[in-house]
């Protein structure tokens, strides 16, 4: 544990990180947050002068995929973000202390940084049977969560579990797994959904909060706008094939080898707000659609109970620039299907329209 | 007799509590509690069978490929298809990357930091160990975490995203690897080999794998750098080979399937200290000490219904047994069953214990690093990566794989296009199982009995070593 007067900069310098790496970190962070080049200086200044904001990271009912994602963030300094910047003053998985010693650190941090710390919550509390499905240190997790939330400045809800409930809340929700904003109602909560969220999105959010001492701008659902304002579909590299009506019909078929659209394989990209198609995964290497599988919409509320992940929309007719707009069929196969079909049709019509204009201009 | 409770544990995956009855500084009885339950088996019932491919991996953010591959194997049996050879290879590469990453995490992040504790300050190796392995401050994490992250870029190429990948299907993988990607995969495996050879072993992997006996290992270790040799010296100084002894019964479902069998074969290392065929039909689950309602003991026919008020119960984990016996699973079981020379010799000398479990993980890591290179070269890029079928008839199916931590099985019953029943027995379900109706404990419970905790009670470091030597994954355990 560091002291309250320690800065991020002093911690990383002590760990042998160069000033050059530090500045690189600041500019990359500024870029990933969409803040423009001037913000890099502000971030650097804040990290050099402001006391480090303590972050307490807690695990409820969960699978630890959020932590897993976080520690593999691509940026070279991020491991130091894990190990020192937010310091994970209390983290169940990687910290050194064990047992009641760990519980004591939790109490101490709460008292010492009252009203100043960020509570990062991975997983959620199950409420059935008095919370008995997630017992931590002899007490239901929900009690520990409420206690720690009381003195927190703000709360980060990591992942789909903390934000929405996720698959453990899928019907019949045996443990009554409950998103944290249903349990904590008097604190600002920032939702960072996804199962798990993208590492760079997580570090971006943490860096913003620790740098500026406030939450970034949120949308109506409580998500940071900078990462969740666009659909996967909007920036998908397979989008031209969607517009052209070129679809994969089976895994690894000829169309798949050509990189056609996965919409017919159940892809939920058109209705999913997340940064996967821009930031990508595992160090920017790829994302689910690039691996040839559709998006399952894991950052959307209720994605686990919206019918099969592989529902094929077979009733939709082929559409695209090869066909006349009048021939474009629209069929509803569930709400998603209807919305997507309408959207696809509109796109195709637009394309046709602009093509006709081109033709007119040229003739 | 005093009863002490240890928990929550840090640096294990998920939540864990251990209760010990101690007399004259010695553990007489141990009870292991999995305090976390989510109900995946209940959630899977009634859903389309293919949805298991998206739901099952979410049991665990650490072993998610193992869970995917087990679900895919059960579905493959249901579809009665053969996977495309390329698909098997690509699956093996990704699965090996996950398992090797787990072994590294265990060694560097979860297990070794305990030796940096002040309790060991009087030992000659302590200062170097603290500098290298102290939790969150040691220099080793700065080597291991980037190496691990780089290794897991494999997931980006094959599986799109990790954890919770979607590319693993019954008939193979969803996407063909192209030439450029194969080159990238090779550069990842080369970088991983280089990390192992420079940092972990301070020797070539081929050389490490020629070590065939305990004596040869001692000679190899002397004067050698690297974190593995450092561990071996420390293990000798603390007699870790006498700590956390298992019963010696071990099994493996067989790991890394290929068109011509498995890299590590299936088998039971039985009471006669030899490898025998594995009697799969003898797998049962006992709920006498689990907060679960009685059901069939056969995982193919049982269901999971919580019973939180059950007297005598103390865990959400059921007690799996093979022919009525509790069985140890994990890298040590896989390598013993596979007859890996060094591990077989170590087990014949001192059985399963804290030291040998750790050695087995690192030796296995060396073996799979080499296998990853071969699998990557064996891909035939112009041939299919996936065979397709949508036909899932009524019936009972099983998918058996080896996760990093040991044997993982999915039992699935399908009726009229829906999942009728789903049962999962995970590696730590075996290792950290509670007692059965004969009052026989699981492998950890048995391994803890007889441990000397002295006056330290709940603070005894020996307990931490024994518990972590199994590399528990508690979120998989009770799921």
Interface of A with B in 161-190 (CB under 8 A): 166-168, 170-175, 177
CA dihedral for A219, A220, A223, A227, sign (positive or negative): negative
Measured distance CA(A16)–CA(B320) in Å, rounded = 49
Mean pLDDT of all residues in B323-351: 97
User: Is A237 near chain B, with CB under 8 Å?
Assistant: no
Q: Which pLDDT does position A278 carry in this prediction?
A: 92
CATH number of residue A288's parent domain:
4.10.480.10
Q: Which pLDDT does position A96 carry in this prediction?
A: 53
Q: Which pLDDT does position A113 carry in this prediction?
A: 87
Q: How far A57 CA sits from the closest chain B CA (Å)?
A: 13
Q: Per the CB < 8 Å rule, is B142 touching A79?
A: yes
Q: Write out the DSSP string of B103-115.
A: HHHIIIIIIGGGG
Same domain, yes or no: A265 and A314: yes
Burial of A214 (C-beta count, 10 Å sphere; 0-12/13-18/19+): exposed
Tally of domains in chain A? 2
Question: Which residues of A are less than 8 Å from B12 in CB distance?
Answer: 93
Of the listed ranges A13-27, B77-91, B185-199, the one predicted with least confidence: A13-27
Measured distance CA(A53)–CA(A251) in Å, rounded = 47
B29 has a pLDDT exceeding 60: yes
Q: Per the CB < 8 Å rule, is B48 touching A92?
A: no
A165 has a pLDDT exceeding 80: yes
A323 has a pLDDT exceeding 60: no
Residues of chain A above pLDDT 90, percent? 45
Q: Which of the given ranges, A74-88, A95-109, B30-44, has the highest pLDDT on average?
A: B30-44
Measured distance CA(B433)–CA(B32) in Å, rounded = 7
**Of the residues A227, A262, A291, which one is the last residue of a structural domain?**
A227
Q: Which residues of A223-236 are buried (b: 16+ CB within 10 A; e: fewer)?
A: bbebbbeebbbeeb
In a domain, A145, yes or no: yes
pLDDT band at A122 (very low <50, low <70, confident <90, very high): very high
Q: Per the CB < 8 Å rule, is A283 touching B109?
A: no
Of the listed ranges A80-84, A155-159, A355-359, B107-111, the one predicted with least confidence: A355-359
Same domain, yes or no: A263 and A154: no
A266 has a pLDDT exceeding 60: yes
Same domain, yes or no: A278 and A344: yes
Same domain, yes or no: A183 and A39: yes
Q: Write out the DSSP string of B190-255.
A: HHHHHHIIIIISSS-HHHHTT--SHHHHHHHHTT--SHHHHHHHHHHHTTGGGSS---S-EEE--E
Count of alpha carbons within 13 angstroms of residue B378, beta-carbon side:
19
Same domain, yes or no: A220 and A358: no
- The 10s digit of each residue's pLDDT in A72-93 is 765 555 555 544 444 444 455 5
Interface of B with A in 236-275 (CB under 8 A): none
pLDDT band at A336 (very low <50, low <70, confident <90, very high): very low
Same domain, yes or no: A69 and A216: yes
Task: Give Cα B155 to chain centroid, integer Å.
Answer: 19
Q: A148 forms bridges with which residues in the sheet?
A: none
In a domain, A108, yes or no: yes
User: Is B467 near chain A, with CB under 8 Å?
Assistant: no
In a domain, A3, yes or no: no
Same domain, yes or no: A246 and A131: no
Q: How far B428 CA sits from the closest chain A CA (Å)?
A: 14
Q: Which pLDDT does position A85 carry in this prediction?
A: 44
| B317 appears as a binding residue in the annotation | no
Q: Per the CB < 8 Å rule, is A95 touching B11?
A: yes
pLDDT band at B115 (very low <50, low <70, confident <90, very high): very high
Q: Per the CB < 8 Å rule, is A280 touching B156?
A: yes
**Of the residues A205, A227, A249, which one is the last residue of a structural domain?**
A227
**A76 C-beta neighbours (distance < 10 Å), count:** 14
Measured distance CA(A174)–CA(B217) in Å, rounded = 50
Chain A nearest-CA residue for B461: A98
In a domain, A1, yes or no: no
Same domain, yes or no: A285 and A329: yes
In a domain, A283, yes or no: yes
User: Is A303 near chain B, with CB under 8 Å?
Assistant: no
Long-range contacts of B288-297 (CB under 8 A, 24+ apart): B288/B312, B288/B313, B288/B319, B288/B435, B288/B436, B288/B437, B289/B313, B289/B314, B289/B315, B289/B319, B289/B434, B289/B435, B289/B436, B290/B315, B290/B316, B290/B317, B290/B318, B290/B319, B290/B434, B291/B37, B291/B315, B291/B316, B292/B316, B292/B318
Same domain, yes or no: A182 and A223: yes
Query: What number is the ipTM of this complex?
Result: 0.91
Element (H, E) at B147: helix B140-151
Q: How far B362 CA sits from the closest chain A CA (Å)?
A: 20
Interface mutation vs chain A, best among B14, B32, B45, B58, most A CBs within 10 Å: B58
How big, in percent rounded to 5, are the helix, strand and coil portions of chain A?
Answer: 45, 10, 45
User: Is B168 near chain A, with CB under 8 Å?
Assistant: no
User: Is B36 near chain A, with CB under 8 Å?
Assistant: yes
Q: How far A285 CA sits from the closest chain B CA (Å)?
A: 5
Give the residue numbers spanning the domain of A269: 232-362
CA distance to B36, B335, B426, per residue, from B330 (Å): 22, 9, 11
Residue A304 or residue A341, greater confidence: A304
Of the partner residues A76, A138, A285, the one whose CB lies closest to the CB of residue B157: A285
Same domain, yes or no: A181 and A255: no
- The 10s digit of each residue's pLDDT in B355-379 is 999 999 999 999 999 999 999 999 9
Chain B nearest-CA residue for A59: B14
Residue B350 or residue A111, greater confidence: B350
CATH 1.10.645.10 fits B2-478, yes or no: yes
Mean pLDDT of all residues in B89-102: 97
Residue A61, sorted as left (phi over 0), alpha (psi -120 to 50) or beta, turns out to be: beta
Q: Per the CB < 8 Å rule, is B174 touching A252?
A: yes
In a domain, A358, yes or no: yes
- The 10s digit of each residue's pLDDT in B131-177 is 999 877 789 988 998 899 899 999 989 998 999 999 999 999 998 99
Mean pLDDT of all residues in B15-29: 94
Same domain, yes or no: A87 and A124: yes
Same domain, yes or no: A64 and A177: yes
CA distance to A316, B39, B259, B363, B376, per residue, from B255 (Å): 42, 27, 13, 15, 17
Q: Which pLDDT does position A99 carry in this prediction?
A: 57
């Amino acid at each position: 544990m560091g002291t309250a007067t320690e800065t991020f900069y002093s911690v990383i310098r002590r760990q042998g990180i160069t000033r050059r790496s530090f500045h690189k970190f600041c500019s990359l962070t500024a870029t990933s947050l969409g803040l423009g080049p001037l913000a890099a200086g502000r971030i650097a200044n804040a990290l050099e002068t402001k006391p480090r904001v303590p972050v307490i990271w807690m695990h409820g009912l969960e699978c630890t995929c959020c932590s897993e994602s976080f520690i593999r963030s691509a940026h070279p300094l991020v491991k130091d973000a894990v190990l020192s910047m937010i310091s994970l003053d209390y983290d169940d998985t990687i910290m050194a202390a064990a047992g009641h010693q760990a519980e004591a650190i939790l109490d101490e941090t709460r008292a010492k940084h009252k009203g100043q710390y960020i509570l990062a919550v991975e997983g959620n509390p199950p409420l059935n049977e008095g919370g008995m499905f997630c017992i931590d240190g002899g007490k239901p997790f929900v009690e520990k969560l409420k206690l720690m939330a009381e003195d927190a400045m703000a709360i980060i809800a990591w992942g789909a579990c903390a934000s929405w409930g996720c698959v453990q809340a899928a019907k019949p929700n045996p443990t009554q797994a409950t998103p944290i904003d249903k349990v904590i109602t008097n604190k600002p909560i920032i939702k960072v959904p996804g199962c798990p969220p993208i590492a760079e999105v997580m570090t971006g959010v943490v860096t913003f909060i620790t740098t500026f001492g406030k939450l970034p701008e949120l949308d109506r659902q409580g998500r940071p706008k900078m990462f969740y304002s666009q659909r996967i579909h909007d920036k998908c590299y397979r989008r031209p094939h969607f517009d052209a009506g070129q679809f994969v019909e089976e895994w690894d078929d000829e169309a798949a080898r050509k990189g056609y659209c996965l919409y017919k394989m159940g892809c939920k990209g058109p209705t999913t707000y997340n940064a996967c198609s821009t930031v990508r995964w595992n160090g920017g290497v790829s994302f689910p659609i690039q691996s040839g599988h559709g998006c399952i919409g894991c950052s959307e509320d209720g994605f686990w109970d919206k019918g099969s992940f592989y529902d094929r929309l077979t009733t939709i007719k082929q559409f695209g620039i090869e066909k006349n707009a009048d021939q474009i069929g629209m069929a509803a196969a569930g709400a998603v299907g209807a919305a997507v079909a309408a959207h696809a049709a509109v796109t195709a019509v637009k394309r046709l329209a602009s093509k006709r204009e081109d033709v007119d201009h040229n003739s | 007799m005093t009863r002490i409770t240890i928990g929550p544990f840090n640096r294990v995956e998920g939540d864990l509590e251990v209760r010990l009855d101690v007399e004259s500084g010695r553990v007489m009885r141990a009870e292991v509690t999995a305090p976390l339950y989510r109900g995946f088996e209940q959630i899977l019932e009634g859903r389309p069978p293919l949805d298991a491919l998206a739901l099952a991996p979410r049991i665990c953010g650490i072993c998610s490929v193992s869970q995917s591959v087990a679900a895919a194997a059960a579905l493959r049996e249901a579809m009665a298809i053969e996977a495309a050879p390329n698909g098997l290879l690509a699956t093996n590469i990704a699965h090996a990357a996950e398992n090797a990453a787990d072994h590294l995490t265990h060694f560097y992040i979860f297990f070794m930091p305990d030796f940096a504790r002040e309790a060991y300050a009087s030992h000659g190796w302590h200062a170097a160990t603290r500098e290298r392995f102290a939790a969150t401050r040691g220099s080793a994490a700065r080597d291991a975490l980037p190496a691990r992250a780089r290794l897991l870029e494999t997931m980006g190429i094959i599986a799109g995203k990790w954890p919770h990948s979607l590319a693993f299907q019954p008939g193979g993988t969803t996407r063909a690897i192209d030439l450029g990607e194969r080159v990238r995969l090779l550069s990842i495996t080369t970088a991983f080999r280089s990390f192992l050879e420079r940092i972990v072993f301070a020797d070539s992997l081929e050389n490490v794998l020629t070590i065939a006996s305990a004596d040869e290992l001692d000679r190899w270790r002397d004067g050698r750098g690297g974190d593995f040799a450092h561990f071996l010296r420390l293990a000798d100084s603390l007699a870790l080979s006498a700590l956390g002894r298992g019963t010696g019964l071990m099994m493996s479902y067989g790991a890394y399937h290929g068109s011509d069998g498995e890299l590590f074969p299936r088998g039971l290392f039985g009471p006669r200290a030899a490898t025998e065929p594995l009697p799969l039909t003898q797998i049962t689950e006992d709920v006498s000490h689990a907060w679960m309602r009685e059901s069939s003991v056969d995982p193919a026919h049982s269901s999971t219904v919580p019973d939180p008020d059950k007297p005598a119960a103390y865990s959400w984990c059921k007690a799996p047994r093979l022919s009525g016996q509790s069985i140890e699973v994990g890298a040590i079981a896989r390598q013993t069953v596979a007859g890996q020379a060094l591990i077989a010799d170590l087990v014949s000398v001192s059985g399963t214990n804290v030291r040998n479990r750790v050695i087995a993980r690192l030796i296995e890591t060396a073996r799979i690093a080499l296998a990853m290179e071969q699998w990557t070269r064996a891909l035939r890029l112009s041939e299919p990566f996936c065979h397709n079928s949508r036909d899932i008839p009524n019936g009972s199916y099983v998918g058996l794989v080896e996760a990093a931590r040991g044997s993982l099985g999915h039992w699935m019953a399908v009726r009229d296009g829906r999942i009728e029943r789903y049962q999962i027995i995970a590696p730590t379900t075996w290792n950290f199982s509670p007692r059965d109706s004969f009052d026989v404990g699981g492998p950890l419970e048995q391994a803890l009995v007889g441990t000397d905790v002295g006056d330290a009670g709940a603070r005894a470091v020996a307990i931490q070593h024994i518990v972590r030597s199994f590399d528990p994954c508690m979120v998989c355990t009770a799921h």
